[in-house]
């Protein structure tokens, strides 16, 4: 049985929502986008939600609204997608990488250690003093599994650092520090939370993102900067209550979401809980089936304090028990018609950062160990039980064939 890594299933209701937007004659940012923002803000209990054309744009605008400037330092995980680091470079600011914990999230102990070293003007991995101002922390919830936000917020508050959550994988993910506490949605801990609606995310608009915040000043700045720094957006200008006149109050960007994308997003909001339930069912089935394999390390779970969105189901190979490496394992999965992916080569090993800052192997032990043995298995709401079985059978047969 062929199993794709991901497959989008667009219901008729979503197609009709998009057609409605097209038939209205209003294709760019308009009523659909405003409705999507309102509904998303309501779901997260946020005062403000601003739709963007990507999560990357949302991260960029959040840093811009926070006043990040040339030479400032922003702490980011090395185990993350390109966007988390590159948006810092948009300002000619400096991304300070932090190693991951066993869940492949930013390690709070390493975070605190790095901050103390910078405050003491000591070298940190890849960087040496003199340093610019240390301004912000951007944790990323890997695969939708929560970072230790209690510790990260404590460290950030003690060091007067802004927290912007990269919640690209986390619609919805939950965290609480202990069983006596209330569950809290990921993306609501920091000054801003930023989400992705890329095609394979937990909900999708094809391309798109959203920033949520309770800070009115930050929200207003982000909203203005999504559309060229105009003090009135197109929807406000061209409605009967609007004015044709606008002014450019800042050198903004073209980061707005279209109504066509928002129409998809509004329809997807109806299925957030259904998608989460199905992803959780698939993850549970994988765990039940694969946990007996000593050559496989399953994703970290702590049901008492974390509820993952299960955007990713990432296994790690115990390579010492196998006669093949990760690349060959993926080839063997492909030979069995199961497509997999890998998340990710750590940022400090990417050519740009190696060339720009002199990073090399040996600086971030956990990230360097785990990325070489990580594989992301298919997990998507339209995945059938038969496909889940096919994935598990493929993993089992490869482990059996190549076990030492």
pLDDT in tens, 136-178: 999 999 999 999 999 999 999 999 999 999 999 999 999 999 9
Residue whose C-alpha is closest to residue 307's, from 131, 179, 164: 179
- Looking at residue 236, its pLDDT comes to 57
Q: Which domains does the chain have, with CATH numbers?
A: 12-269 (3.40.640.10), 272-402 (3.90.1150.10)
Does pLDDT of 240 surpass 60? no
Radius of gyration of the chain measured on its C-alpha atoms:
22
What single string gives the DSSP state of each residue in 49-92? EEEES-HHHHHHHHHHHTT--TT-EEEEESSS-HHHHHHHHTTT
Determine the average pLDDT of the residues in 316-321. Answer: 98
51 backbone dihedrals φ, ψ, rounded to 5°: -80, 140
Q: Cα separation of 147 and 215, whole Å?
A: 22
- Looking at residue 27, its pLDDT comes to 85
Does pLDDT of 237 surpass 90? no
pLDDT in tens, 3-30: 999 998 899 999 999 999 999 988 888 8
Enter the pTM of the model.
0.96
Q: How many helices (H) and strands (E) does the chain have?
A: 14, 13
pLDDT in tens, 249-268: 899 999 999 999 999 999 99
CB count, 10 Å around CB of 88?
Answer: 25
Does pLDDT of 242 surpass 70? no
- The secondary structure element, H or E, covering residue 165 is strand 162-166
């Amino acid at each position: 049985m062929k199993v794709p890594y991901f497959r989008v299933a667009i219901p008729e209701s979503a197609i009709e929502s998009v057609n409605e937007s097209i038939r209205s004659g209003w294709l760019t940012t308009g009523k659909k986008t405003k409705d999507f923002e309102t509904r998303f803000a309501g779901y997260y209990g946020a005062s403000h939600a601003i739709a963007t054309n990507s999560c990357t744009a949302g991260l960029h605008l959040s840093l811009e609204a926070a006043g990040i400037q040339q030479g400032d330092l922003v702490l980011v995980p090395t185990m993350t997608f390109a966007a988390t680091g590159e948006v810092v470079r948009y300002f000619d600011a400096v991304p300070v990488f932090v190693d991951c914990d066993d869940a492949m999230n930013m390690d709070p102990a390493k975070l605190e250690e790095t901050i103390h070293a910078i405050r003491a003007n000591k070298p940190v991995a890849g960087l040496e003093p003199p340093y610019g101002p240390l301004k912000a922390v951007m944790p990323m919830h890997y695969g939708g599994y929560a970072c230790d936000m209690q510790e990260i917020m404590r460290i950030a508050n003690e060091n007067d650092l802004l927290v912007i959550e990269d919640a690209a994988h986390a619609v919805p993910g939950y965290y609480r520090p202990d069983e006596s506490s209330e569950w809290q949605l990921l993306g609501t801990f920091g000054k801003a939370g930023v989400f992705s609606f890329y095609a394979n995310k937990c909900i999708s608009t094809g391309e798109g993102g959203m920033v949520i915040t309770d800070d009115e000043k930050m929200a207003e700045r982000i909203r203005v900067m999504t559309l060229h720094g105009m003090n009135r957006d197109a929807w406000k200008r061209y409605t009967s209550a609007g004015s044709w006149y606008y002014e450019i109050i800042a050198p903004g960007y073209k980061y707005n979401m279209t109504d066509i994308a928002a129409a998809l997003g509004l329809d997807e909001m109806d299925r957030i809980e259904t998608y989460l339930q199905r992803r959780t069912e698939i993850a549970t089935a994988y765990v039940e089936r694969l946990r007996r394999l000593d050559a496989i390390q399953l994703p970290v779970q702590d049901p008492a304090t974390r509820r993952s969105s299960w955007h990713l189901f990432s296994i790690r190979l115990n390579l010492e028990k196998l006669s093949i490496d990760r690349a060959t394992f993926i080839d063997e999965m492909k030979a069995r018609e199961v497509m997999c992916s890998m998340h990710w080569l750590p940022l400090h090993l990417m050519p740009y950062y190696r060339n720009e800052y002199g990073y090399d192997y040996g600086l971030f032990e956990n990230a360097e160990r785990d990325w070489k043995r990580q594989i992301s298995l298919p997990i998507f709401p339209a995945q059938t039980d038969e496909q889940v079985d096919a994935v598990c059978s493929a993993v089992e047969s490869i482990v059996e064939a190549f076990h030492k």
